[in-house]
Amino acid sequence: MKQKTLFNFTYIPEKKLLKQGSESGQPVLPASDNNARKRDKIITEDKGNLQNLLSELDKLVGLAKVKELVREIMAFVEISRRRERFNLKNENLVLHMIFSGNPGTGKTTVARLLGKMLAELKVLPKGHLTEVERADLVGEFIGHTAQKCREQIRKAMGGILFIDEAYSLARGGEKDFGKEAIDTLVKAMEDHKNEIILILAGYQREMEYFLRTNPGLRSRFPIQIHFPDYSSEELLEIAQLMLDERQYSLSVGAAEYLRSYLKSRTTDKIANFSNARLVRNLIEKAIRRQAVRLVNRNIYSRNDLMVLLREDFLPPAGSGEEHYLPD
Ligand SMILES: Nc1ncnc2c1ncn2[C@@H]1O[C@H](COP(=O)(O)OP(=O)(O)O)[C@@H](O)[C@H]1O
Ligand SMILES: [Mg+2]
């Protein structure tokens, strides 16, 4: 293809690219590369599934930056594979990640979706999520830790190993078995480069400290995603989504109560505030309270079975509590 030079940059005029079809969405492949053609066909056929997963991601409330980054990762993976076919240089595809953020901000939910997307793109053979924490990895006697880690790595093989509250592995310092767990995991990451992705998750401050005190780790986890707390409006939207999914709805009084309750919880920043998980627990509790309210009634409508009232969200009279604190 004819190239031109401008200010020392070599470029291909866009008209030529258009003629070649690459701008019109037609894959331009080396003529001899039949395998690549087949692979491209697979990718095109699988696009439907990937598209569904991306729209599932989009349906999550808020998380604008997280969504953008996930799209970037997906696009980068796809383009890296296309470049490979043209023998173009590629950055190493290292997709181990750090997810920082408070509980209930969507870390596990996004990791699960990511696994499925990477399986669609054939980056991971299976894409399932194995969620573990310190107790699943760290043993109590010599040899126990390596054995526990191997077991979890075996389970996660082909997918994502998601380590919640990963900073707690560094608890106890040099002599603690947590250190051995970290070393075993790092070794597994290298031995099974193309079969497993590790995600370390936890509170932002603790994860920062963890990485600072284990400087070798940062470069092994090149993708860092922060999950911010939700605003009270976002939490209300999440509540609506959860209610729709379960075919329930709120009375005007219940909606008003939930709005003011979430507002006070987000502005007061009460310790252990668990974001979307708090919303889920509130709704599930109210659903059970509604059931108790209705179970002995002989006459009820379809609407009665769907609507949650303000009283379903309130603690029982005389309990002395102002609100339920379900978490
Ligand atoms: N942005 C969101 N939109 C809708 N539901 C959400 C969102 N974020 C979290 N959830 C829901 O909240 C609950 C807790 O989310 P989870 O991913 O387990 O949080 P984390 O792993 O950060 O503690 C799950 O039921 C999840 O489906
Ligand atoms: Mg989680």
Atom of ligand 1 nearest to the CA of 227: 22
Cα 327 off chain centre by = 22
Atom of ligand 1 nearest to the CA of 110: 17
Q: Is 290 in the pocket of ligand 1 (CB under 6 A)?
A: no
Phi/psi at 300 (5° precision): -155, 155
What per-residue confidence (pLDDT) applies to 152?
97
What per-residue confidence (pLDDT) applies to 303?
97
Phi/psi at 172 (5° precision): 90, -5
Alpha helices for 123-273 (secondary structure H): 134-137, 144-156, 177-191, 204-213, 215-218, 232-246, 252-268
What span, in angstroms and rounded, lies between the C-alpha atoms of 239 and 282? 9
Q: Is 241 in the pocket of ligand 1 (CB under 6 A)?
A: yes
Closest ligand, as measured to the CA of 230:
1
pLDDT, one tens digit per residue, over 28-83 is: 555 455 665 555 554 555 567 999 999 999 999 999 999 999 999 999 999 998 99
- What are the distances in angstroms from CA 110 to CA 58, 83, 124, 134? 11, 27, 16, 21
Low-confidence spans in the chain with pLDDT less than 70: 1-47, 173-174, 269-271, 320-327
Largest Cα–Cα distance of the chain, in whole Å?
Answer: 83
Task: Please enumerate in sequence order all residues whose Cβ is within 8 A of that of 24, keeping only pairs 6 or more positions apart, or say none.
Answer: 18
Closest residue to atom 7 of ligand 1, CA basis: 106
Q: Compute, in angstroms, the gap from residue 103 CA to the centroid of ligand 2.
A: 7
What per-residue confidence (pLDDT) applies to 16?
62
Atom of ligand 1 nearest to the CA of 112: 17
Q: Is 152 in the pocket of ligand 1 (CB under 6 A)?
A: no
Q: Compute, in angstroms, the gap from residue 234 CA to the centroid of ligand 2.
A: 18
Q: Compute, in angstroms, the gap from residue 151 CA to the centroid of ligand 2.
A: 21
Q: Is 280 in the pocket of ligand 1 (CB under 6 A)?
A: yes
What domains appear along the chain, each with residue ranges and CATH number?
A: 32-227 (3.40.50.300), 232-313 (1.10.8.60)
Atom of ligand 1 nearest to the CA of 111: 17
Tell me the two tokens of residue 214.
Answer: 């284990």
Whole-model pTM: value is 0.84
Q: Compute, in angstroms, the gap from residue 223 CA to the centroid of ligand 2.
A: 18
Q: Is 107 in the pocket of ligand 1 (CB under 6 A)?
A: yes
Q: Compute, in angstroms, the gap from residue 279 CA to the centroid of ligand 1.
A: 9
What per-residue confidence (pLDDT) applies to 242?
97
Atom of ligand 1 nearest to the CA of 103: 23
Q: Compute, in angstroms, the gap from residue 242 CA to the centroid of ligand 2.
A: 17
Q: What mean pLDDT value characterizes the chain? A: 87
Atom of ligand 1 nearest to the CA of 274: 23
